[in-house]
Structure formats: C-alpha cells, structure tokens
Chains A and B, each alone.
Chain A
Amino acid sequence: NAGVIQTPRHKVTGKGQEATLWCEPISGHSAVFWYRQTIVQGLEFLTYFRNQAPIDDSGMPKERFSAQMPNQSHSTLKIQSTQPQDSAVYLCASSPQENQDTQYFGPGTRLLVL
C-alpha cells in the first residue's frame, strides 16, 4: 500500500500562472479530501468528494480555486491566476467506506508563488 500519492511534491509558479495539483487516493477508498496548511492559518479544510461526487466545498476560496475528481483513482486541485498568498502546503487525504471518519494523508504539495 503506497498510501496517498501527491504530485508534484514541490511547485514554484509565478504570480498569475496556473497551478494544478494531483492526488491519488489509497486504492479502494471512497472519499477524498483537500486541506491547505500554512504557518499562520494552520490546517484548513478546502473540499471533499465521496464516490467521486463533490460533497462539500465550503472551504474553497470562491475565486480561482477548483477541484475535480474525474475517476476514483485521482483528484486535482487547480488554482488559476496564482497569488503569493496561495503559497502553502496542499494536503490530500482519503478515507475508506468502512471507516469514514478516519483520514489518511498524503505528503502534500508545497506550492510557492513568487
């Protein structure tokens, strides 16, 4: 079991560019979550999919951020027109159907917007 896989591990973008972050959940897990981690705000929930359907995106900034889960094996988080304040570690987690309140986190993608 490779755990949750996130790529890339590090990404540097210029202000105004687009960034796409990838997540591969643990095989067989039915839910995928995205969080953002910064020194100032700590860990914050962004969005959540269950069986590929978007369930709760209440933590997503209303502009520029979007997430998709086109199939059960991967999810993407896209940030358009990146800004320096988007710099953070973006964490993906997944949870199994039989234990839905336990989340397993990936290593994160460290995004730096210059």
Chain B
Amino acid sequence: SQWGEENLQALSIQEGEDVTMNCSYKTYTTVVHWYRQDSGRGPALIILIRSNEREKRSGRLRATLDTSSQSSSLSITAAQCEDTAVYFCATGNYKYVFGAGTRLKVIA
C-alpha cells in the first residue's frame, strides 16, 4: 500500500472541538491533496500542500506536510456539524493514490 494506514478510521467529536487527522505515505511525492467526501457525492478538494510548504491554511483548515517523515495532517478548528464527512489524503500528480480515509462525525 502507498499509505501507512490500511483501514478507514472513525472519529466522533463534539461541535466546537478541534480535530486532527493524519496520513503517512510510503513513496516520494511533491504534493498531498486533502479531499472530503459527503455521502452520495464525489470527493471534493479542500486543501493541498506541496513539498516546499510545511503548512497551509484555508479558513478553519490547516494542513501540514513533513517530507522527512513522509506524513501529512489535516486539522479542523472549531469543528461544526457540517464538517461531518469522510476525509481522504491523496498523493500523486495525476495517478492519485488515496489513503483509507477518516470518517469524521461532528455531534451538536
């Protein structure tokens, strides 16, 4: 597997909490994409981070990339119910390799 995590992870948090999801990858990449997928829909890109960036922010989202440990993380600050989704990381420039994903549930 391209990724260290083999199985879909599940997280359940309260609204307003912060949450961090992690991915580790096995082969070299110049970019990590983070997607969210809502039930019945295709993945939607929410943030991407390149190998020359250690951190990237977009609204309440923060992505990090550590090329030395081949790992990336996605943090959501003050999670809201509408953040409930499955979150995937993916590497590759065209032939994406997706991680198993994290099913996040935010409870009011």
Contacts and interface: CB of A to CB of B under 8 A. Distances in A.
Tell whether A pairs with B.
yes
A100 B48 contact: no
A101 B90 CA distance: 11
A59 B29 CA distance: 19
A106 B45 contact: no
B101 A101 contact: no
A96 interface: no
A101 B92 CA distance: 8
Interface stretch (B9-17, B36-44, B60-68, B73-81): B36-44
B40 A103 contact: no
Contacts of A4: 42
Chain B binding surface SS class: loop
Q: Is the interface of A mostly helix, strand, loop or mixed?
A: strand
B44 A105 contact: yes
Nearest to A35: B96
Contacts of B44: 105
Contacts of A48: 94-95
Interface residues of B, number: 23
B43 A42 contact: no
A57 to B, nearest CB: 11
B20 interface: no
A102 B45 contact: yes
B33 interface: yes
Contact of A103 (B41, B96, B99, B101): B96
Interface of B: 8, 31, 33, 35, 40-45, 48, 88, 90, 92-101
14 contacts: A35-B96, A43-B88, A45-B95, A48-B94, A55-B94, A56-B95, A59-B95, A91-B43, A93-B42, A95-B94, A103-B96, A105-B43, A106-B42, A108-B41
Interface of A: 4, 31, 33, 35, 42-45, 48, 55-56, 58-59, 91, 93, 95, 100-108
Closest 6 CB pairs of A and B: A105-B42, A43-B98, A101-B93, A105-B43, A107-B42, A45-B95
